[in-house]
Amino acid sequence: MTDKRKYIRVAHSERVRFITEENTFSGKSLNISRSGMQVVVNMPESYEEVRSITFTLPYSSESIDIPCRLVHTKGDNGAREQVLGVEFNYQAEAQLLLIEKFIREIRRAQPLKESELEEMRRLPRSICALAGATVSREDLKVISIDNISTEGLLITMTGRVKTGEALEFELFLPGDQRSLTIGGKVRYLIENSFRSTSSAGISFTLVKETDRTRIRNFIVTQATSMAIKNLYHNLASALNP
């Protein structure tokens, strides 16, 4: 699926049901993101005719039925059991919001994996929700900065931009009243048709070294806080198996 690096994916094991034009068949989910799901199934002959998927999430009393399409399959050709890549085609914003809420709660409760900690050490990046940033084009509005590294930003915004477009941002870091002025280029876009917003990946093209240091210090502070949280989580798990 195309969202491998753009959307957070969390483990989720639950029975699911696929609807085709003529019948239904069941499977078991492996993980979920806001754009789709991976599911293990005993491959039916009519899998290409799948029209929707039905499943439940914890803390939700109702089943979620979402139109979908299969984007890939994985498994031995001779084996009945296959892993399907399912892409959601939302018809209601409430479904998207419910899945996003579930993913946020799972991520908040889970300690970081060693691979994620290693990536943070290699290319420091902090997940955040920074408001108050402005952009050089008056027809654009930055809703929030969703993560930041010393090399770029992921922002949620309104307005239309093009991949490759150069922009200038002014932003503030928590606890610091001094603004940062940064030049960047749009590397990719993710449209959100329900909210009329887009997520844009921005790589820095012009940033002062002093400002880059301030960003790095902010990320280190955030990472230290997360490391302490992970330590307490692991100690609590060891003391209360």
The count of C-alpha atoms lying within 13 angstroms of the C-alpha of 101, restricted to the half-sphere facing its C-beta, is 10
CA atoms 27, 16, 58, 230: torsion sign: positive
121's enclosing H/E stretch is helix 114-122
Task: Report the predicted TM-score, pTM, of the whole model to 2 decimal places.
Answer: 0.51
pLDDT for the residue numbered 2: 41
| Segments of the chain with pLDDT less than 70 | 1-6, 43-48, 59, 75-80, 108-125, 193-195, 225-241
Exposure string over 98-125, b if 16+ CB within 10 A, otherwise e: bbeebbeebeeeebbeeeeeeebeeebb
For 203-241, how does the pLDDT look when each residue is reduced to its tens digit (9 = 90+)? 999 999 999 999 988 888 877 766 666 666 666 666 666
Domains and CATH numbers, the chain: 10-106 (2.40.10.220), 111-239 (2.40.10.220)
pLDDT for the residue numbered 226: 63
CA-CA distances (angstroms) from residue 30 to 9, 16, 64, 84, 136? 10, 10, 17, 10, 42
Q: Token pair of 107, please?
A: 């991520």
